[in-house]
Structure 1
Amino acid sequence: MRFSVTIALILVLSAVGLTYEIAAGRVLAPFFGTSLVTWTTVIATVLGGFSLGSALGGVVAERPRAVAFRDIRSALVATAVLMAVSPTLLGLLHAWGARGTGGMILSVVLVFFPASVCVTLPSPLLAKLAMEARPGREGSSLGFLLAAGSVGAIFGAILAGFVTLPLIGSTATFAACGAVALLCLPFVRGGQPGTPAVTIAAAGFVAFAGLAGSPACQYESGLSCLHVVRQGPEVRLVSDGTMQAAERVTPGEADDGTGLVLSYTGWLWARMDRDLGPEASVLFVGGGGYTLPTELLASRPKAQAVAVEIDPMVTKVVRLHMPGAADMIARAGYDASEGEGADGRLGIVHADGRVYLNETDQRFDAAVMDAFSSGSVPAHLVTRETFARLREIADGPVYVNLLDTPDGPLARGVHAILREFYPHIEAVQGRVTAGGRTNILFAASLAPLEPLESLPDGYGPTQISDARAFTDDRGWVGHR
């Protein structure tokens, strides 16, 4: 085998392996969420597969050349099939009852470990062939091989994150990985002939998986896996398996607001309605379904809002499926990243919330922190540094929505931060779910907070224990 061919194959297979790894973390989100725990499990499992594949590939490379080539071709066919079937296997395991951290770890190992072994198995033989192709230049040959592996990994990560996952989705990305593995077969010549029928069957299966396989997400971007669910008079927005927003739709009737459905939005709005004046300017970090900004602007014709939503796909889905918020965006929305709107009252910024806080010079009367990544708050949005910056640009109250266990570590850490900047804090929590978590809501203010006349059904005051405040250096680690 020519040296250039071995380098090209190493580069391509490394790219396939990293694309597969990134796609694995993405496809987990609808079933188990996305967090430090899920990504750690995926990375450890795939790297473990790569390690075992290299070890087994070393044994294969020492076999007679004819047998070694046959085994390598078999590994490439197995890689294609296992990668293409990965999202289906994951869905089956979830349907069979895989839940919680244990179920997630078991699913990741069973689904993603075998393909990770197979995709790496050809590498030692390719390395051996590269050495043989340039006698006396083994050192530089090895250096080029290592560089090709690294470049391929970099290319695969970029390809998954910036191209395939946002454009064609995770299911098609897995099938594409399998197809590329099969395309390597013609370059692995020699040795005992393989079975053409097996290769043809594998190619047909990969094509079927890519074209006919059910997408993991109704709407998918590099940041979100979104589903829209209609239940009676309600439309709900679900992101990475967690319901992010909902509004009530009454056919045939015009409604200037959104018809708030979720209890936590009911409390936040009741608190805002009591605390804010008729011309309030409010920053919303986390656009979601845009229900709270819509309610604010519908009830206060002179109010202003800026909603910071990291994923443009979320805004697109809201425009398509949530009529109340979509109508408000159409009537009052403008691109706030280009400056203040001449006529619009709802500024929309597609950016990370922390980046916007660091860069904006606009001031607000209040702020709502309601950003989520899957079922948890991004760690960099719940640090002392974040709220210190928020205190600089928001003159009035700050409202925070969290998902945590009662008096859990996230709630305690955020409460400790708020106590450093605000003398008056109110905390409530809703009903605890079967998973043991609930919405924990904070209102923090420099001025005393007037009590609400009533609370949403299932909500009541809660006590939060003392804890260490999160910082950028020692922050929230997240959970599913």
Structure 2
Amino acid sequence: MLSAVGLTYEIAAGRVLAPFFGTSLLTWTTVIATVLGGFSLGSALGGIVAEQPRAIALRNVRNALVATAVLMAVSPTLLGVLYVWGARGTGGMMISVLLVFFPASVCVTLPSPLLAKLAIEARPGREGSSLGFVLASGSIGAIFGAILAGFVTLPLIGSTATFAACGAVALLCLPFVRSGAPGNPGATIAAAGFVAFAGLAGSPACQYESGLSCLHVVERGPEVRLVSDGTVQAAERVTPVEVDEGTVELVLSYTEWLWARMDRDLEPDASVLFVGGGGYTLPTKLLASKPEAQAVAVEIDPLVTKVVRAHMPSAAEMIAQTSYHVSEDKAADGRLGIVHADGRVFLNQTDQRFDAAVMDAFSSGSVPAHLVTRETFARLREIVDGPVYVNLLDTPDGPLARGVHAILRELYQNVEAVQGRVNARGRTNILFAASPRPLESLDSLSNGYGPALISDARAFTDDRGWIGHR
């Protein structure tokens, strides 16, 4: 049971980090290393505890379980406090993970050596098989915890309640440690009350949450913004409108440049693939501006589509009027096909052809690594006859921009790159248009955008790819 709690806690830790520090290879590496380090220290300390007189050892195990419950339940609150106090960047992320998640990881593992010792003593002469059963049960518990977190608790009750549930399960282990020196019932009752309060009254880390996304809808005057893991994914004017060319207004400057490029390059009846649905603003603009055009939007998380339909009027209206769910065995008359799948999986499996494609998929503040490899864009080149447009977030001439630029130059004869204003974190939107045919110059660039100077670099591949921003 404690192994299940430990793995559920570890996965929830990675999830709750996303609104503050994003999610990437770096954040997950830090979480896994920290939690495993806590497990290791907890096992070592638990071995010392197991050698103490039985009564004292059992009392210490009970104290560890109470501490586990409190530390797990308070984890999301403590993470938010550290962020408010100024924890930022890689260093802030690593310190936050260590301070928030290491202590609970130590406490949850501390009882294990004593429990193993008791199991071995219960079967004299069969120590080997007893130890094997203990280790196997721990592994099975860990597997169960991982499945429980990823498929049940995080999607259904969210990360804050998942932490409280982990604490509650730790407290439920106390009746199984009954003998030995008496514990402190008052502390146990107080811990139970705190865990219940944290689960019921604690502020959710996300306004909308699934196993894939932590979403917030932010209204700023006439605008509504869709924020995913702390990064603005889309924005729209909040006015009750009909979706036609004159009323669909793009808010984010990077979408204005992409649309200007698409409007210049594409025919009125173009078929366009969008990898990354986000707020569906560009598909909405395309279909409103070119009544004969077709679009397929691949969005990995159905929750994103659900939130867009509830809060972004123009996109919601376009989805309601023209959308259909793409399936391999059923033709549809709608103009906006929606696919809830990973973009790379769709590319590998589809037999559809397109006139253009827009790569605008994000996980937190970064592009998923498997969508910015030579193999991904080579597959796009096979099924897309015309231009490919790419949106990245990176520092000027940063490693992500250089790697993608190298890929596009290998596959396309004509590549154009622009970048916007640099934000306080030193990052900006870097946009590419790549085409097998010459690209006509735009009459003007979007506000704040200018040509991007990008150095030569090695192209990303599936084997050696992008690491990711936090």
Instruction: Give secondary structure in 2 for the equivalent of 1:48.
Output: helix
Contact 2:234 2:252 in 1 (8 A): yes
Q: 1:404 maps to what in 2?
A: 394
**Cross-structure match for 1:33:** 22
| Residue from 318, 333, 336 that aligns with 1:346 | 336
Query: 174, 177, 187: which one pairs with 2:176?
Result: 187
1:477 aligns with 2:467: yes
Which residue of 2 is the match for residue 312 of structure 1? 302
Cross-structure match for 2:160: 171
RMSD, matched Cα = 0.9
Match of 2:290 among 300, 306, 314: 300
Partner of 1:14: 3
Alignment of 1:284 onto 2:274: yes
| Correspondence 1:324 to 2:319 | no
CA contact (8 A) 1:341 1:347 kept: no
Q: Structure 2: which amino acid aligns with 1:392?
A: E
1:335 and 1:341 in contact (8 A); partners too: no
In the alignment, what sits opposite 1:265?
A: 255
The question of whether the paired residues in 1 share the 8 Å contact of 2:61 and 2:110 is answered with: yes
Q: Deviations over 1:26-78 (max 9, x none)?
A: 00000000001110110010000000000100110010100000000000000
TM-score by length of 1: 0.96
2:60 to 62, 71, 78: 71
Alignment of 1:27-426 (within 5 A): 27-251=16-240, 253-256=241-244, 258-339=248-329, 341-426=331-416
Residue 343 (structure 1) shift = 2.3
**Matched residue pairs, number?**
468
Deviations 1:171-193 (A, max 9, x none): 00000000000000000011111
Give deviations 1:1-24, integer Å, cap 9, x for gaps.
xxxxxxxxxxx0000000000000
Q: Which runs of 4+ in 1 moved over 4 A?
A: 338-341
Do 1:337 and 1:348's aligned partners in 2 also have CA atoms closer than 8 Å?
no
| In 2: Cα distance, 1:418 partner to 1:299 partner | 28
The 2-side partners of 1:415 and 1:342 are apart by 36
**Distance in 2 separating the partners of 1:361 and 1:340:** 14
What residue in structure 2 maps to residue 9 of structure 1? none
Q: Contact 1:249–1:259 at 8 Å: present in 2 too?
A: no
**Distance in 2 of aligned mates of 1:342 and 1:64:** 72
Residue identity opposite 1:332 in structure 2: T
- Residue 10 of structure 2 aligns to which amino acid in structure 1? E
Return the offset for 1:338.
Answer: 4.8
**In 2, are the aligned partners of 1:294 and 1:328 still within 8 Å (CA)?**
yes
Distance of 1:361 and 1:78 partners within structure 2: 55
Report the CA distance shift for 1:254/1:331 in structure 2 as closer, same or farther (over 3 A): closer
1:197: Cα distance to partner? 1.1
Deviations 1:97-128 (A, max 9, x none): 11111111111000000000000000000010
The gaps in structure 2 that reach 5 residues or longer are none
Going from structure 1 to structure 2, the CA distance change for 1:465 and 1:112 (only over 3 Å counts) comes to same
Aligned position for 1:451? 441
* Separation in 2, partners of 1:333, 1:250: 21
Structure 1 gaps of 5+ residues are 1-11
Deviation track 1:249-308 (CA, whole Å, cap 9, x = no partner) reads: 235x44435421000000000000000000000000000000000000001111000000
Contact (CA 8 Å) 1:334, 1:341: kept in 2 or not?
Answer: no
Aligned-partner Cα distance in 1 for 2:331–2:257:
29
CA-CA distance at 1:246 after TM superposition: 0.5
Q: Distance in 1 between matches of 2:248 and 2:140?
A: 49
Report if the CA contact (8 A) 2:243-2:318 is conserved.
no
Report the Cα distance in structure 2 between the residues aligned to 1:157 and 1:240, rounded to whole angstroms.
21
1:451 maps to a residue whose letter is S
Letter in structure 1 aligned against 2:358: V
